[in-house]
Amino acid sequence: MQNTSSSLPSWRGTTVLSVRKGNQVVVAADGQITFGNITLKSNARKVRRTGDGNVVVGFAGATADALTLFERLETKLEQYPSQLMRACVELAKEWRTDKYLRKLEAMMAVVDANVSLILTGNGDVLEPEDGLIGIGSGGPYALAAARALKDVEGLSAQDIARKSMEVAANMCIYSNANILIESIEIPS
Q: How many CB atoms lie within 10 A of CB 37?
A: 8
Q: Which of 5-14, 46-55, 70-79, 102-111 has the lowest mean pLDDT?
A: 5-14
Tens of pLDDT, residues 58-76 = 998 877 788 888 899 999 9
Question: Does the active-site annotation cover 14?
Answer: yes
Average of pLDDT values for 91-117? 85
Write the pLDDT tens digit of every residue in 17-60. Answer: 999 999 999 999 999 988 878 888 999 999 999 988 999 999 98
- Nearest CA-CA partner of 91 in 72, 107, 105, 104: 72
What are the boundaries of each domain within the chain? 11-180
The CATH number assigned to the domain with range 11-180 reads 3.60.20.10
Question: Left, alpha or beta for 13 (phi > 0: left; psi -120 to 50: alpha)?
Answer: left
Residue 125: which H helix or E strand, with range? Answer: strand 125-126
Q: Which of 4, 14, 68, 75 is catalytic?
A: 14
State the chain's mean pLDDT as an integer: 89
pLDDT score, position 12? 54
Predicted confidence (pLDDT) per residue in 164-180, tens digit: 999 999 999 989 999 99
Q: 103 pLDDT exceeds 90?
A: no
